[in-house]
Amino acid sequence: MSESFVVGIGGAAGQGVATPGDIFAKIFSRRGLHLNAYNAYQSIIRGGHTFLTIRTGPQKISNTGDHLDLLIPLNQDTMDRHLRLLTAGGACLYNADLIQPGTPAEGVQLCPMPVSKMADITRNKVGQNTLAIGAAVNMMGIGFSVLEGVLAEQFRKKDKAVIDENIHLARTGYEYASKNFQALAWPLPMTDARYAVLSGNIAMAMGGAAAGVKFYSAYPMSPATGVLHWMASHARQAEIMVRQVEDEIGVVTMAIGAAHAGVRAMCATSGGGFALMSEGMGLSAQAEIPIVVIDCQRAGPSTGVPTKTEQGDLWQMLGAGFGDYPKVIAAPLDIADCFKLIPEMFNLTDRFQCPGIVLCDLLLSEGRLSVDPKELDFNPVIDRGEMITSNGTGDHEPYKRYKITESGVSPRAIPGLPGYTHVVSSDEHDEDGVLISDEYTNAGKRRAMMEKRMRKMDGIAASVPPPKLHGPADADVTLIGWGSTHGVIHEACELLREAGISANHLAIRWLVPLHGDAILDLLRGARHTIIVENNFSGQFARYLRSETSFVPDGNIRKYDGEPFAPHHIVEAVKEQLAGKTKLSVPAHEIMV
């Protein structure tokens, strides 16, 4: 496995965990290193416990890993909770005035800083953090000038005195470490690459901008709010209309109104907000007005655990709204994919005039990943489908908005054009848009309209690639996952191979339509199949069974709010291959 280095910083909310995180992320990315970061936090603005993990290295980092190399506890609580994650060669940097060290594992260096003797920080409540950053950068073998530059940038909106004070504190910590602590065993390498560091929420917002989204509406809801924040702060430059609406019913219906007028419209929410959007999904499908809705899953049901991750909304998405209607559902595999998926989804929803759901989760929405800027393509293919945007010579057949066609797609005239006035409707209607539910009831027309709409699913299926199996075809074990578990399963496969168990990986991105036959073909020769997912009931396992009758040999599930770590999967696979169980529910060792 490739080399990596993991830093953990923890404290109470409001103690300033985010800033050191940003500074380390900048230092790593400017050395040309990849990184993957995840912040475990609670639904509280001040107090509680928050723990940020940043893993870095020269190769792509698919998850935050199993252990820490450097721990910076900002309070006693963090020391007590996380010291055990440090492994040999690691170090713990802490304020010796406030924090009592625990007993670390063998080979772990305790680095107490006598903060009150090092500097006067009585008026700077995050002064200890800056001292620790300075010390950490020294131990990583990085020159001070790099940190100085990043600090100046981090505090660029503050007075010069604030910048100078922080640089002074950082230098004090840096020098103290050089005299008193051992450098870390693995000095951080450097490469010529440069990466953008972004969250999944920023990636999806930017992916929307790249896709030509002109209308974005939202109601604040964790963990989807980051999409709104990016959209709102970049709206004027990107020329996107961004609206905060009174509730998610208004959010989705406002997006539908804008989409009907002819622009690409998007909205994002979490499971609770999506519940309010369900009827809107039906309107989008029935009136044949394309929209894209992002669901950033958090632990449910009800208000649930607002700051914790889960893959528990799959069946809500599958069953959203009543009646049968065409729709597309896809789950991005990582943060780079959060960007890439949005234009792809819009091309499908525009071509097939139906709703599309991007099923993300808190792990990706709020996690951060280094991404090659080339992957953030602001010039993707934009296919708006069959749209009538000009009345040409003015001569045309009487326009039928819901004309019955072989593909099920009827060309969409954009309101405002002379000669194409029509009615779009949530009631069942005929080709002309005349209501057939209230006006008169006509079984033949109803059937024809239903079949017209549902024919679109054939076209969508033909436009979406079947999944692929990664790894050796004759592996001992096949791990099946969907969406955000891609990264951690990938690393688990590597660790299993190192342990002498060959493993391959089937990652599902397109959920609806699901290429059931292709999946069965791939799994037919598998020796031992295990479905890995972040929910209680095995929502994907149940879905796969309902679509294909496939039943895996075992399941690994986690529903404690935290994402999988690689060793959770590795240990579960070992116990299942040994025949000890068919359902593993790994325990999350650290309370966060």
Partner 1 sequence: MATETVVAPKAITMADYKGRVDPDWCPGCGDFGVLAAVQKALVELQIPKHEVATISGIGCSSNFPGFIETYGMHTLHGRSLPVATGMKLANHAMTVLVTGGDGDGFGIGCNHFVHTIRRNVDLTYIVMDNQIYGLTTGQTSPTSRIGMKTKSMPYGNIETPLSPVALALAAGATFVARGFSGDQKHLTELIKLGIEHKGFSFIDVFSPCVTYNHDNTFQWFRPRVKKLEDNPEYDSTDWAMAMEKSVIWGEEIPIGKFFERTDLPTLHGAEPVLNSGPLVHQNNRIPAEIAQGFVQELM
**Closest distance to partner 1 from the beta carbon of 358 (Å):** 19
CA 403 to chain centroid, in Å, comes to 39
Q: How far apart are CA 140 and CA 146, in angstroms?
A: 12
Continuous H helices in 499-581: 516-524, 539-548, 566-577
Per-position x/- string for 197-226, each x denoting binding to partner 1 as judged by CB under 8 A, each - no binding: xx---x---x--xx-x-xx-x---------
579 near partner 1, rule: CB under 8 A = no
- Does 194 help bind partner 1 (rule: CB under 8 A)? yes
Of residues 149, 215, 174, 191, the one with CA closest to residue 32: 191
Closest CA to 483 of 334, 306, 272: 334
Measured from the CB atom, is 133 or 259 closer to partner 1?
259
Residue 549 in contact with partner 1, rule: CB under 8 A: no
| Binding status of residue 389 toward partner 1 by CB under 8 A | yes
> Beta strands 368-371 and 34-40: pairing type?
antiparallel
- For partner 1, the closer of residues 17 and 240 by Cβ is 240
Interface residue with partner 1 among 22, 432, 553, 560 (CB under 8 A) is 432
CA–CA distance, 332 with 345 (Å, rounded to integer)? 11
Residue 281 burial by Cβ neighbours in a 10 Å radius (0-12, 13-18, 19+): buried
Choose among 165, 212, 160, 242: nearest CA to 346.
Answer: 212
Residues 6+ apart with CB under 8 A from 131: 95, 113, 115, 118, 119, 121, 169, 170, 172, 173, 176
Cβ neighbour number for residue 514 with a 10 Å cutoff: 23
- Restricted to residues 14-73, the positions that interact with partner 1 (CB under 8 A) are 29
| Using rule CB under 8 A, residue 150 touches partner 1 | no
Segment interacting with partner 1 (CB under 8 A) among 75-83, 132-140, 254-262, 356-364: 254-262
Of 453, 448, 421, 433, the C-alpha closest to 284 is: 453
Nearer to partner 1, 159 or 246 (CB): 246
The footprint of partner 1 on residues 314-373 (CB under 8 A) is 373
The pairing of strands 554-557 and 5-13 is: unpaired
Pairing mode of beta strands 510-512, 529-533:
unpaired
Buried b (16+ CB within 10 A) or exposed e, 283-309: bbbbbbbbbbbbbbbbbbeeebbbbbb
Least Å distance between CB 383 and partner 1?
12
Closest contact distance (angstroms) between CB of 246 and partner 1 is 4
Question: For residues 283 and 507, which CB has a smaller minimum distance to partner 1 in the complex?
Answer: 283
C-alpha distances in angstroms, 441 versus 397, 428, 430? 26, 9, 10
What are the structure tokens assigned to 424, written together?
Answer: 């779009």
| One-letter amino acid for residue 157 of the chain | K
Give the nearer residue to partner 1 in terms of CB position, either 255 or 480: 255
C-alpha–C-alpha distance, residues 410 and 281, integer Å: 19
Q: Work out which of 418, 465, 500, 579 binds partner 1, going by CB under 8 A.
A: 418
Burial letters 157-173, b for 16+ CB under 10 A, else e: eeeeeebebbbebbbbb
DSSP β-bridge partners for residue 39:
52
Judged by CB under 8 A, which of 420, 470, 501, 553 binds partner 1?
A: 420
The single-letter code of the amino acid at 180 is N
Among 123, 156, 160, 236, binds partner 1 (CB under 8 A): 236
Stretch that binds partner 1, among 126-134, 141-149, 377-385, 571-579 (CB under 8 A): 377-385
Q: Which residues contact 443 (CB under 8 A, 6 or more apart)?
A: none
Q: How many residues bind partner 1 (CB under 8 A)?
A: 78
Least separation in angstroms between residue 353's CB and partner 1 is: 15
Closest approach of Cβ 384 to partner 1, in Å? 9
Q: How far is the CB of 485 from partner 1 (least distance, A)?
A: 25
Regarding 431 and contact with partner 1 (CB under 8 A), the answer is no
Among 34, 171, 264, 505, binds partner 1 (CB under 8 A): 264
Q: Is residue 454 close enough to count as binding partner 1 by CB under 8 A?
A: no
Among 96, 98, 185, 435, binds partner 1 (CB under 8 A): 435
Q: Which stretch binds partner 1 (CB under 8 A): 31-39, 110-118, 236-244, 505-513?
A: 236-244
Q: Which is nearer to partner 1, 378 or 536 (CB)?
A: 378
Closest distance to partner 1 from the beta carbon of 234 (Å): 7
Which one of residues 88, 158, 180, 378 is an interface residue with partner 1 (CB under 8 A)? 378
d(CA 73, CA 91): 11
Q: How far is the CB of 119 from partner 1 (least distance, A)?
A: 31
For partner 1, the binding residue among 89, 143, 301, 416 (CB under 8 A) is 416
Q: What one-character DSSP code corresponds to residue 237? A: H
Q: Which stretch binds partner 1 (CB under 8 A): 57-65, 83-91, 127-135, 432-440?
A: 432-440
Per rule CB under 8 A, is residue 509 in the interface with partner 1?
A: no
Which of the stretches 163-171, 259-267, 476-484, 508-516 binds partner 1 when contact is defined by CB under 8 A?
259-267
* 246 forms part of the interface with partner 1 (CB under 8 A): yes
- Amino acid letter at 79? M
Sequence-distant (≥ 6) Cβ neighbours of residue 345 within 8 angstroms: 211, 292, 328, 330, 356, 358
Q: What backbone torsions phi and psi does residue 508 show, to the nearest 5 degrees?
A: -95, 125
| Least Cβ distance, residue 351 to partner 1 (angstroms) | 16
Residue from the set 13, 245, 501, 523 that interacts with partner 1 by CB under 8 A: 245
Indicate which single residue of 3, 120, 164, 247 sits in contact with partner 1 (rule: CB under 8 A).
Answer: 247
| 137 binds partner 1 per the rule CB under 8 A | no
Q: In sequence order, which residues have a C-beta less than 8 Å from that of residue 546 and are 6 or more positions away?
A: none
- Within 13 A of 280's CA, how many CA atoms are on the CB side? 25
Verify binding: residue 411, partner 1, rule CB under 8 A: no
Q: Which stretch binds partner 1 (CB under 8 A): 56-64, 159-167, 309-317, 417-425?
A: 417-425
Q: In sequence order, which residues have a C-beta less than 8 Å from that of residue 162 and are 6 or more positions away?
A: 155
Strand partners, 371: 196
- Contact code string over 265-294 relative to partner 1, x by CB under 8 A: x-------------xx--x---x-------
- Asked whether 338 and 373 are in contact (CB, 8 A), the reply is no
Residue 445 contacts partner 1 per CB under 8 A: no
